[in-house]
Structure formats: structure tokens, C-alpha cells
A and B are shown apart, each in its own frame.
Chain A
């Protein structure tokens, strides 16, 4: 697999993680150590201001009918991937401001809108589409619709990007572009 990791300025990416294939990491995104991101079926594009915590796994799966050139898996801004969650997906688009809680699993063929919460240890394996602001929780996979998107984690991102360099070796940004524009949800500041 060809290695092509693009890290935009402002991203905090720990060295101790597995990144394979064609991956683009947006500015402001924080990737903790021990994260696994594998782009085997095509490029993975992670937008700005995402948090990907320890032992989280994101895999762009190879589809049976592979298109050429392979289509990317696009992950929107402000997504939070909590400890040991797993996302397996074909090409497609994952919205913004989603939370994948600890040990949750999202299988391929699950389409996720924006503002969704996949609760701790919830397993989504059947092909389905989650409408915007869907919250799934508990062992019985109860779901409900939230009124508004989950609040952004900008304070946490700020803290992490300050603290991480003190304790971990980081991968250096290798793309020099203009800084990503500040996101529209900048209300919590």
C-alpha cells in the first residue's frame, strides 16, 4: 500500500500510531497515540477539529466492486472518536459533530449524518442510515432525536494541542497551505 500521509498545519498527530495508505488530516485535528487509520480501499480525508482518541480504529474498507480511481472516505469536521471505537466504512461521507463513544462499532454500509451520537459499546452492523441528530445508547440500542447538534469540543482541542507536544513525539505537518478558516460553530469560546 502506498504511503501518502498529508498532515495540514495545526494538526496534532502523535508519532505512535498506525497510519496506512492515503490519508489527509485537517488542521486543528488531534490524533492521540495508538490510533489506527487504514486507507486500504481508497483515500481517507479527515476534516478539521476532530478528536481521535487512543485505540480508535478507522478503516476505509475495500469494496467488492472497486472503482478507479478509488473514491475517498470523507470524515466531516468536529467528529469525536472516543477510546477504542471502531469505524469500518466504504467510500462515502460522514457528517460533522458526531460522537463515537468508547468501544462503539460502526460497520460498513452505515451512513451517518451530522450530530449523531453512537453510545458506548453500541454496535451498528446492519446497513442503515442515521438521520441527523440521532442518539443511540444502551445495550438495547435505544434511539432518540436530539434537538440540536452536540456541543463542540473546542476547549478540549485547545488543551490537547497544547499538552500533547509536552508528552508525545509528534508527526510534523508536511503540507503548507493557508490555515483552515475558523469553523462556524465557534460559539463556545
Chain B
């Protein structure tokens, strides 16, 4: 159960040990494991502007410094600025000329306008807004050239070393011997800067030097009263690192930062867990392996107050989100069979030996934080419960809630309400968090064939552990 504004009362334990509500979890259909944002690989698919929805490839985005060229953000509160039109009167007394439309930028959140800092109104809506030039542009370019030259040199050295190795090993004729083409000529033909010029960039580079002369502070520095409305906040300064305006009158509109669409990938098997549609206007996914569609969902209906040493009733609702019938059994968390074979099986795969960059040792290096201590235990029925498949049409049927006994309160379509008993420890401290945990064993039918040759469905028995947050232990 997850809410936008309330805490998450039911949390699932991810295969990496994190506690997350079901809406924040993914389910890898290939590993049959629950994954979360912490233990998967995030990849940038595309860059876009969230305001004008312009889409651009990453190379173009890098060229534009990851900012949109037509949208601006408020330098005061970082909200998107809107363009407003006014009718400008001719200051020289109208000679019957129609008033001209002029545009300025304005923030609907903090009411900042481009007029506040003296930026003149523009005759066209789309911009031509004056840009403040970075006072360190030359130094920036110097540094850029220097690092490019160093990268070039290192690459060249590596190549030379490799070639030497090659020459000593065999008696092959290299390109220069055969054609008389030297490395410098080849670089020239390929349009690369010659090694001489890159070395000159490196030798001519002047490192920045610290100077002992520091500008004196003005005499009234400590005496002058500060007007907080005139000076900028830290966040306003850091939003514009190259200028860092200290006065509110020096703020200027910032091109809006781009957003990215991400796709998520399982780190263990490299399959995509989510893949969004490319179009930035679309909120749909091409691949969407969310736990919400595959793992039985548990919601708390109600519970009695938790008292130390007492028993209280707990009503839970289970629902089956899959299109197949599901058998669910409740277990104590310690009865879940150990499934720590993940690392071994993966190491065995050929994939691992081919792709050296992929390293799952990170998984082992994070010690699993033990789940919060339980305030007691849930008395679980030793029966298997069958949950019907999800049927969207059943929502409209007025079928009365079906069979009930002392455990099942009611049953409707793919949902089931359970009546359980909680036993709270006598030592549970009054005022401490009342956490209860249990595990679910559920059957899962995987409709994705493991390979093209095997077409049949495969049924699996999977486990997941949940933690219920039932408020505080009361007296």
C-alpha cells in the first residue's frame, strides 16, 4: 500500500535488502526476483525539455550544455518563466501609430520579471534575450584545449606502445614501411590535430597561480545593515555557477535544464525492466516490469490497538494482479528457503565471462541491513489460499462477496480479505514502532519463454517478505 502523502504502511523486502512499498519495486521476469531503484542499472534514453517537450539526442544536449534553448527558468525560485505581452506606448508621443507588442519574461510563482533586473522588453516572443557573458570564457577554453591535448597525447602514447609490442613480436611490415606514410601525415589526412600542435598547447599552458594580494574589504563591511531582499540566497548563486550573482539585481534568466527519460535494467541478467516510449509527451512504457503487476499486493484494512503481551485482530486484503490463478501461502519470515544462490549461478553464466565490466560484487559488498525488529508475531494460517486471476470486467459485476470462514472474511474477484491474529511481545516497549512481518509464498506463471525453442509456460514458486507498520505500541 503506498500513498502520495502518507507513510508507506506495507513494505516489501527487495532482493537487495531494501524496504520499499510495492509501487517502488520492479520485478525481473528473467531472474524472478524483486528489484528496486537501488539495485538496478539506470540508463539515460533521451533528453527532453519538460516545458516545451522538445526532444534531442544526447550529443546535441551535450552541445547545448543540457539546457533548452527556448525555455527559461526563474533565477529567483527556479520555476519556469512565462512570456508575457504588453502594449508599449511610444514614449515620443503616439503619432497615430498602433502601439507595438513587447514581450517580457515573468514567473507566476514568485512574480519575478525580467524587468526587475532591467532587461529591456523584446519585440519578439521567442527571445533574443541578452545573455550575460561568462568572464572566464578564455580560461575555460584554455583548460579545455589543454585537457584535450593531454587526452590526445595519452592515446597516442598507448598506440605507440602497442605498435612497438607488435613490431618486436613479429616481422610484419607496418603501414609506414609499405607506403611511406608517416603517423603525422596520417593524422593530417584524418583531420586530427598534429601531435606537434598538441604538445605546443601543453607546453604553452599556464597553470593558475595563487596570489598573496587579496582585495581589502570595504570599511563599512561589518557596519552596513544587510537588506536580505537585495542579496541572493545560496541556492540562487549556485544555480548559476559561472556568474554567482551576489545581488538580486544581477539575477538573469537561466536556460531551463533538460530532463531525461530513463530505462532500467536488471544488473544480474541485463534484461530491461522498464523502457519508456521515446516521445517525451507520452507517459507510457514499452517494457514495464513493475512489481505491482506481478507480485501479490497486500493492503491493511484495519487492526486493533497493539498492546504489549496482548493479541489483536488484523484484517488484510490480498490481491492477485496477474492474469493467472495464484496460490498464496503465508509463512513466518524465517521459514523462507534461502535463495542465496544468485551469485553462483550468475558467475557460471557465459555472459559473465564475456562481459568483464559487469560486476555484481557490489551486491555482496553492501551488508544487508536487518529489517527492523518485530513487535511480535503474526499467527498465520497453515492453509493455501487461491486467488483468482485479475479480471477487469469483474469490477462491474455486482456479485456478492463470496465464501467466508474463520480466516477468509470475504472473497471477490481477484481479491481476498483475511482475518489474522497478532501476538505482541510482552517486552514490547510502549511507544515503540509496531512492526510485524510475514512472508508470502506464491505461485507465479511466467509467460515469457526462457528461450525461443521452449514455448511452454513455466510455473514457479516465489517468496517475498513484507513488513507491516501498525503505528505505535500502546498502553
List the interface of chain A (C-beta within 8 A of B).
Answer: 117, 119, 135, 137-138, 142-148, 150
Contact = CB atoms under 8 A, between A and B. Distances in A.
Contacts of B424: none
Contact of B112 (A119, A138, A144, A150): A144
Interface secondary structure of B, over-half rule: loop
B115 interface: yes
Contacts of A148: 115
Given A135-B110, A137-B110, A138-B77, A145 B229 contact: yes
A145 B227 CA distance: 11
B115 A147 contact: yes
Given A138-B77, A144-B229, A144-B248, A119 B109 contact: yes
Interface string B227-246: 00100010000000000000
B443 interface: no
Nearest to A136: B110
Interface residues of B, number: 12
Nearest to B230: A145
B111 interface: yes
Contacts of B274: none
A146 B113 CA distance: 8
Contact of B109 (A137, A143, A146, A147): A137
A174 to B, nearest CB: 37
Given A137-B77, A138-B77, A144 B113 contact: no
Interface in B169-211: none
A150 B233 CA distance: 23
Nearest to B233: A142
Interface string B405-422: 000000000000000000
Interface in B100-146: 109-113, 115-116
B252 interface: no
B66 interface: no
A138 B111 CA distance: 12
In the A-B complex, the 6 residue pairs with the smallest Cβ-Cβ separation, listed nearest first, are A145-B229, A147-B116, A137-B110, A135-B111, A117-B111, A146-B111
B76 interface: yes
9 contacts: A119-B109, A135-B110, A135-B111, A144-B76, A144-B110, A144-B248, A146-B116, A147-B113, A148-B115
B111 A150 contact: yes
Q: Which of B76, B109, B113, B248 has the most CB of A within 10 A?
A: B109
A47 B113 CA distance: 28
A135 B108 CA distance: 11
A142 B110 contact: yes
Given A144-B76, A144-B248, A145-B229, A138 B109 contact: yes
Given A142-B110, A146-B113, A147-B115, 9 more contacts: A137-B77, A137-B109, A138-B77, A138-B110, A142-B77, A145-B229, A146-B111, A147-B113, A148-B115
